[in-house]
Amino acid sequence: MQTLKYQGLKIHQNTKTSIEDILVVEAPLQININREAYTVVMRTPGDDIELVRGLLFAEDIYKKQKSFSFEVKKQENEIPSIVNITIPKNDLGRGYLNKRSLLSVSSCGICGKKELKDIKVDGNKFSKTYHFSSDELHKMYLKMIVFQNTFNTSGGSHAAGIFNKQQELLTIREDIGRHNAVDKTIGDLLIRNKLDEAKYLLVSGRVSYEIVSKAFLAKIPIIVAVSACSSLAVDFAKEFGICLIGFTRGDKMTIYSNPSFVKTNVSYV
């Protein structure tokens, strides 16, 4: 259940009309690890196991290929509310020692982090580049739009899509939270053992530092956004060797880092 109908009163100039609007669902999901509460995330229901798998990967809690066992508990309205995960203690990564202590809302990727040092990301900078054109990026976005059913219905969800080197769509997921959508796509590829094929991450909204760090941990060298990029996202992208592109709309786009990835025939003015 990703959308629900709500009544509203639409005002236009001097007229008012009663309407029934379709809204994207935002609901809490409590994640328990080995019977202990880890965090509560606000998300759009659907693909919850992919969301959890991607989140634990990004948080350096569980990065092994083998699946973990889980139990899903639902509310009376059939929306999952709790996921109980069982992971052997020896398989828990160092991120588990730094458990989130606060609610993680759908628009905030670092809520619950205890210390500033917890937002650092370790790893080797990307060295290999992939060359592509702006036309190819726009074609990939057109492929994504076809599968954005929740957005097309409600206008209120974000989407993330991951493509391979041949620019074939590997996975796409939607959620009310930008980083939730990214976690779901990465989690899906982890479950299907296809994460090593990921080369492009396309997002429907803006890019913050956390989306860049999630892409880096997943070894995705190219991030393309419809909207803006934050200053920290650009700083991280430059440090990690990621090609970060924002404002990708129509025949326009802004390259913020590693422009050598992009094939262009334009000259500076």
* pLDDT for 114: 43
What are the pLDDT digits (tens) for 222-259?
A: 999 998 888 878 988 888 999 999 888 877 888 898 88
Q: CA 79 to CA 52: how far, in whole Å? A: 16
Q: CA 98 to CA 257: how far, in whole Å? A: 31
Q: What are the distances in angstroms from CA 205 to CA 105, 115, 178, 254?
A: 16, 27, 7, 14
What are the pLDDT digits (tens) for 183-206?
A: 999 999 999 999 999 999 999 988
All structural domains of the chain: 27-117 (no CATH), 132-263 (3.40.140.10)
* pLDDT for 269: 47
Strand order in the sheet with 243-249: 169-175, 158-163, 200-203, 222-225, 243-249, 252-257
Q: Is 248 annotated as a binding residue?
A: yes
Q: Is 108 a catalytic residue?
A: yes
Q: CA 120 to CA 130: how far, in whole Å? A: 26
Q: Is 216 annotated as a binding residue?
A: no
**What is this structure's pTM?**
0.82
Point out the residues of the chain with pLDDT beneath 50. Answer: 102, 114-117, 268-269
Q: Is 246 annotated as a binding residue?
A: no
* pLDDT for 56: 93
* Active-site residue, selected from the candidate residues 108, 111, 229, 243: 108
* pLDDT for 210: 86
